Amino acid sequence: MAENTFKVTIITPDGTVYDNEKVTMLVMNTVGGQMGIMANHVPLIAALEISTVRIKHSEGTDEVAAVNGGIIQFDGHNAIIAADSAEMPETIDVERAQKAKERSESAIAEAKKKHNQNDLSRAEVHLKRAINRLNAASKQRNI
């Protein structure tokens, strides 16, 4: 069974967010589209979108992590996700994420009204991150 598993580590500038050696599959959104990898997959490096990463285990359990951009490097036995920021659902403050979503939506409306492309782009990224955090918290409850 050990040959069907691999190690996944999610790191951020603040430290390690996730570390597990018994992962059977990892599903994530890259800039090229959604990708799933399993043990002994061809080595790869890919840029990640702001999205949830699904982590599957042999016991039939799944976990998710909210990953806000970054890269994944995989050598067939070890996956390292170096993310700008990442959170596991149990550490997400849902109320805070909801307020961030609402602030971002207001900032988007204001930027559109003022035709300010820089503020619009920044607010859209903040909105994606807030929605990603809310999605991760919601998905973990449904697994």
Over residues 69-109, the pLDDT tens digits come to 999 999 989 999 999 999 999 999 999 999 999 999 999 99
Phi, psi of 47 (to 5 degrees): -85, 140
The radius of gyration of the chain's CA atoms, rounded to the nearest angstrom, is 16
Determine the average pLDDT of the residues in 26-42.
95
What band does 20 get if pLDDT is binned at 50, 70 and 90? very high
This prediction's pTM:
0.88
Give percent of the chain with pLDDT exceeding 70: 96
Determine the average pLDDT of the residues in 53-68.
91
pLDDT at 1: 40
Query: Which candidate, 7, 43, 48, places its Cα nearest to that of 24?
Result: 7
Over residues 126-143, the pLDDT tens digits come to 999 999 999 999 876 554
- 48 pLDDT higher than 80: yes
- 16 pLDDT higher than 70: yes
pLDDT at 59: 79
E-state strands within the chain: 6-12, 15-30, 33-38, 44-57, 62-74, 78-83, 86-87
pLDDT at 2: 46
| The CATH number fitting domain 6-89, selected from 3.40.50.2000, 3.30.70.20, 3.30.1540.10, 2.60.15.10 | 2.60.15.10
